[in-house]
Amino acid sequence: MTSTASSNDSTTATMSKSLYIDGVWTAPVHPRTVPVVNPAMGKSIGHIAVGASDDVERAVRAARAAFSSWSVTPVAARVAMLDKIYHLILERKELLAQAIMTEMGAAISFARASQVPLAAEHIRVARDLASSYPFLKIEGHTAIAREPIGVCALITPWNWPLYQITAKVGPALGAGCTVILKPSELSPLSAELFAQIVHDAGVPAGVFNLIQGSGPEVGEALATHDDIDMISITGSNRAGALVAQAAAVSVKRVTQELGGKSPNVLLPDADFARVVPLGVMSAFRNVGQSCSAPTRMIIPRHRLAEVESLVAATVNVMVVGDPRSEETVLGPIANEAQFLRVQALIEAGIAGGARLVCGGPGRVEDLTEGYFVRPTVFSDVTTDMRIAQEEIFGPVLSLMPYDTVDDAINIANDTKYGLGAHVQSEDLDSARAVASRIRSGQVHINHPAWDPHAPFGGYKRSGNGREYGIYGFEEYLETKAILGYA
C-alpha cells in the first residue's frame, strides 16, 4: 500500500552554518557548506557547514585541554550532567523526531516510538552505570583503577543518527572522557540539536565538540591525529577498515560496529503464524536500514509455501509513503546513493535466480518523488547468491530453505558478518542450543524486548568491541594496577 500525501516545503528545516567547538558555535576555518537532502522529496532543503582538518585541530586542542579537569570531575557531577541531557532529550523529543524524519526519511511514528526514546535510553543507562560503577577496587594489596582513556573521536552513521550518537557520547562522558563527534553529513540535523542539548545541559567547554563533514576529510583527520586516544566508529566495513588502518600508526584504541547480514532461524516447531510477521517487521524496521536487521529468514523446506503466504500477507498491508503520515510504516531510503544500491541488489537477486514473492525493482506506484523502494521478498535463496551475502540495507528479505537443523545453522553462519541473529522455537532448550552455535554478537530468541544493557557488537567482519550497557561503558576506560596500595 502507499500513502500519497505529498512532501512539500513545510518540511524545510532551519540549518545552522557552524560547528560546535570549545563550548561555542563557530564557523569553519575555511567556510564551506553541503546540501541537506530530504529523501521523501529527493531535493535539498538547506545547507550545513562542514569542517576539515583545521577544524579537527581546534576541536582536539579543546578536548585535550578540557580532559585534565573533566577526567577528575567528581562522578556525581558527571552523572548530574547526563541526567540533564537525558531529560532535555525527553523535553525536545518532538523536535528531534521531526528532524530525524526530515533528514533521513524515518516515518514520524517510528521516529517518535523508537529513534528518539531508544536514544534517550542510552543516556539514562550511562547515567545509572556511572553512578554505581566501581572505578577503584582493592584486590589484596593492589588497587585496580579504571580511568578514562582520554580524548575520543566518535564517528556515527546516518541510519540511526541520534541513537548511535547517544550510544557513544553517553558512556564516554560518564567515564570521564572528552569527545569529538563526527556525525554523518547525510543526516546532520539531529546531531546539531543534540549538541545544543549538551550545551544547554551545562557541559563544560571542550568536553563535547561537534564537527560536521565527510569521512575522507574529517574522519581521516580524526583517525590520524596523534592526540586522540580512541576512535569509536559505526559504519560500513570499508569505512571501519580505513579508520583502523589510519589509527594503527598512533596505536589508538579502535572500536567498530560495522556491517551485518543477520539470520533468522525458524525451527520446525515455531509458531509460524506469530513469528513470520514479526520477522518481516524486524527485517524491514527502519526501512531495512539497520546493520542487525534479520534479512535472511531460514525456514524448513517443507513449510516454504506457508511462509511465503504469511510474508506476502504481511508486506501487502505495509503502508509505504510520506513519512509525515501517521499511517506510514515505511518511508523512503535515506539517500540517493543507498537507493541506487538497493535497486541494484534487487536486480542482482533476480539475475541470480532467486524467485520474487513480492516487490521488485522500480519506484513505488504513485510516489514519483523521493527514494521510495518497493518492499521486496525473494524465495529459494541460496548462500552463493549476492543477496544472501551482501548487506543490502533496504527492505529486502531473503527466504532460505533448509532440510535439517544442522543445515540451518550452517546457512546462518555462512557469512563474513556476525552482528545479530534470531532463533524461533516453542521449545526454549532447542532455541538455546541453536543460539549457542550461531557466530554472532547478539542472538534474539522468540523476538524478545529490546535490552539497552545487552552488549552489542560483532564477530568476524562485523567489528571489534562492544556498545551498550556496562560492556560499552568499559570501552572508554583504561585499567591501571597500583601495587602496594593497601
Which of 152, 177, 291, 358 is labelled catalytic? Answer: 291
Predicted local confidence at residue 18, as pLDDT: 82
Q: Which domain holds residue 314?
A: 263-451
- Whether 251 and 276 map to the same domain: the answer is no
Predicted local confidence at residue 17, as pLDDT: 63
- Whether 344 and 248 map to the same domain: the answer is no
Q: Would strands 296-300 and 396-402 be described as parallel, antiparallel, or unpaired?
A: parallel
Predicted local confidence at residue 39, as pLDDT: 98
- Whether 381 and 476 map to the same domain: the answer is no
Q: Decide if 5 is inside a domain.
A: no
- Whether 270 and 190 map to the same domain: the answer is no
306 is catalytic: no
Which residues of the chain, if any, have pLDDT below 50? Answer: 2, 4-14
- Whether 202 and 278 map to the same domain: the answer is no
- Whether 16 and 151 map to the same domain: the answer is yes
Predicted local confidence at residue 466, as pLDDT: 97
Which of 121, 257, 474, 475 is labelled catalytic? Answer: 257
CATH of the domain at 433: 3.40.309.10
Q: Decide if 212 is inside a domain.
A: yes
Q: Decide if 363 is inside a domain.
A: yes
- Whether 73 and 101 map to the same domain: the answer is yes
- Whether 179 and 65 map to the same domain: the answer is yes
Q: Decide if 233 is inside a domain.
A: yes
- Whether 236 and 319 map to the same domain: the answer is no
257 is catalytic: yes
- Whether 339 and 469 map to the same domain: the answer is no
Q: Decide if 4 is inside a domain.
A: no
Nearest-5° angle of CA 177, CA 93, CA 34? Answer: 70
When divided into structural domains, the chain yields a total of 2
- Whether 271 and 396 map to the same domain: the answer is yes
CATH of the domain at 46: 3.40.605.10
Q: Decide if 235 is inside a domain.
A: yes
Q: Write out the three cell numbers for 225.
A: 591525529
- Whether 180 and 105 map to the same domain: the answer is yes
Q: Which residues lie across from 479 on neighbouring strands?
A: 146
What is the value of pTM for the model shown?
0.96
Q: Which residues lie across from 148 on neighbouring strands?
A: 477
User: Phi first, then psi: what are they for 315, rounded to 5°?
Assistant: -65, -40
Q: Decide if 303 is inside a domain.
A: yes
CA–CA dist 349, 366 (Å, integer): 24
pLDDT in tens, 391-433: 999 999 999 999 999 999 999 999 999 999 999 999 999 999 9
HSE-CB at 158 with a 13 A cutoff on CA atoms is: 27
CA–CA dist 345, 349 (Å, integer): 6
